[in-house]
Structure 1
Amino acid sequence: MPDAETQRKLIEILRILSESNGEVGARKIAEELNRRGYNLGERATRYHLRMLDERGFTKKHGYLGRVITPLGEEEMEHALVTDRLGFVSTRIENYEYKTTFDPLSDTGDVVVNICYIDKADCDRSLAMLKRVVEAGYAISPRLKVVDEGEEILENDVPEGQMALATFCSITIDGVLLKRGIPVNLKYGGILRVKNHKAERFTDVIDYHGTSINPMNVFVSKSMTSVLKVLETGSGNVLANVREIPVNARDMARSIIGQMNSADIHGIFSGCEDMRPLLGVPIDAGMCGIASYSGINPFAALMEMGIRTRIIPLSAVMSVKELKRLD
């Protein structure tokens, strides 16, 4: 019997096949899985497809790919909606616990986002990432660049492409949690910036009520204007809001200071006694922490017309593998 994580991946593959017209190959399925927040390479996707074949949920059509069977459709319909809705928040909690980064010693594992780009776009992509970082709309100046044919987190980088791994803001939550501070990541949204100052959230999605990472939603709908913010100081960027107990405020501020010294930035509203916080409700007895999203640099690449495949909240990686942009 597959574990809960594998079961979710199998159901998601069935959904992809059900939503497609005709046969779909493993590569296309892997790409769509990554878009939906599952870091699964082509080889791993083929393994999951064989599991579905053995159960009679999918059927192989020669070299064209797979189709879903009537039995597969029935299995997909029986997948629990409540389990699906809780997927993103459960995934976040898992990665918070996997975070072992210690800002004082600058060691341990951090959460990363991954973006695949064409190799020909590497130089201008790195130049743009540096601009976004220097303007303060990213989490850290550190990243990892992986060339075609090499492996990143057990997935091969396709020919003609490169992979960029950057800090995910969930690292902040993981560090606070490891220091004994309960953290509730509540909202991901579009933050309106004016004269390089956070003004208010214009759109938010509750992490506990969605089956898709909010950052994926806003980026896919082209709702950001990171380039405009860089040029004029005003526009829309991606940001998150989390809550911590008011009693933990002083300790959290101290830890945030330690993270800043360890190249983890991005928090632009930390532990203020504001309700609502930039237009977002904060529960009684709690205080809010707002940070820019680690996806902002990749959103800027999309706005430039660079072809990207973005995988938010992708995996954990040793901080030693990420090097400063400069």
Structure 2
Amino acid sequence: MNEIAPTTGSASGGPSEETTKVDATLGAASRFDGDAIFRGLVTGAGIGVLLLLGGIILVMVGGGVKAFQTFGLNFLTSSVWNPVTQHFGALAPVFGTIVTSLIGLVVAVPLAFGAAFWLTQMAPARVAFTVGMAVQLLAAVPSIIFGMWGFFVIVPLMAQYVQPTLRHWFGHVPGISMFVQGAPFGTGLMTGGLILAVMVMPFVTAVMCDVFSSIPAVLKESGFGLGATRWEVMRNVILPWSRNAVVGSVVLGMGRAMGETMAVTFVIGNANKIGWSLFAPGNTIASLIALEFPESPAGSVKLSSLMALGAILMALSFLALAVSRVLLGMSNRKEGR
């Protein structure tokens, strides 16, 4: 007897019910393409960030065109800021921004590195968790609180103890005396830099802690297995592995220091002049904009000068980022990466 082969279609020769269900599922999947929607969303987000950044740059540069047309390149080299004579220059606030930011980073980065090293490599887990939470809470404190704390605590200490002591020790030393001169008011570039260091340190510490904690355990255990100390493991294993992120944390801190406004305004002295003394009053771009912007009429040269200062501040931030990328590239090339 001949065997009857199983049929895959219906009795009338059409597609079976299973085939119809598969076709319907494939059609629904083609109509709802989740990958395409996700791709469009993330592409739109990336383009949106670029458009936002470009819009900010255009507003700043466009608003500062009048200042450059009025003063030319002299706007970058002049330290005069006189609203009465309508003569404005950017050199004094740019100088104050760079000096206070460098002071803040010089003080903050070693402290942040030491704190991150202790929290991730030496401290007990419970203590590290508690101190890490305290560091994160310190980063959440509003900047104006730091300014008030600096004005009522740090400024008197600088005026009564720090500056007189340094002037007594180094006031007659050639090459150093110029950095400690000035009346002991307590306000100045050094005080502003110290406040920035306190504000920047939690951000840098938090980033370093996350990076040091994310290194694969096998790398550290290999170093310890070869007899290396904690510091040798940090220097020869952890730091090379996390170099990019560490430099990124420093650049993040520099950006925060350059853009800080109210805290620096409380303690820097707000004087538009250049002085080599670390205790001389000065100004920064952000603090000058905060103080002068409400009194700048629309369309005035003063308002245009403030907008130009904003564009210069963005350029300084981009320059710091570019320099860090160049240094990382040079370091990677030396290591053959």
Which bin holds the TM-score, normalised by the shorter protein?
under 0.3
Bigger strand fraction: 1
Report which of the two structures shows the higher radius of gyration computed on alpha carbons. 2
TM-score, normalised on structure 1? 0.23
